[in-house]
Amino acid sequence: MTQTETRIEGIVLDEGLTVTLTELTQLCGSSGRVVRLMVTEGLLRPKGQDPDDWRFDGLEVRRARRAVRLQRDLDLNLAGTALALELLDELEQLRERLRALEHQLGQRRTRELG
């Protein structure tokens, strides 16, 4: 019988975390040039005016990692990546709304039955 080893990798990100451009490139496995293009295209919104002053919070790090993964896995250009991120963001918002509505419906049913 052969054993299969499963390896899970990840980075725990604190939303209060801020990282520099250099740190972001290391976390994403991407180049500074690619990250600068993402900022120019509006995919990422760092704090600070110049690349030397840019700071990215945990949510931006997550977004950058997702963008790099989409580009790599699906061979998307920047415009395609922006569209995919926008659609994924919308999907997450809709799921949150659905969960909230299901929670409200569950509370209403509990009151009606109780």
What residue ranges define each of the domains in the chain, with the CATH number in brackets? 18-89 (1.10.1660.10)
Expressed in angstroms, the distance from the first to the final Cα of the chain is 54
Report the predicted TM-score, pTM, of the whole model to 2 decimal places: 0.74
CA pair distance 54, 104, nearest whole angstrom = 41
Question: What are the phi and psi torsion angles at 13 (to 5°)?
Answer: -115, 130
Share of the chain above pLDDT 90, in %: 75
Helix ranges (DSSP H) in the chain: 21-28, 32-40, 58-74, 78-113
Helix orientation angle between 32-40 and 58-74, rounded to the nearest 10 degrees: 100
Contact 27, 66 (CB under 8 A): no
pLDDT in tens, 60-114: 999 999 999 999 999 999 999 999 999 999 999 999 999 999 999 888 887 777 6
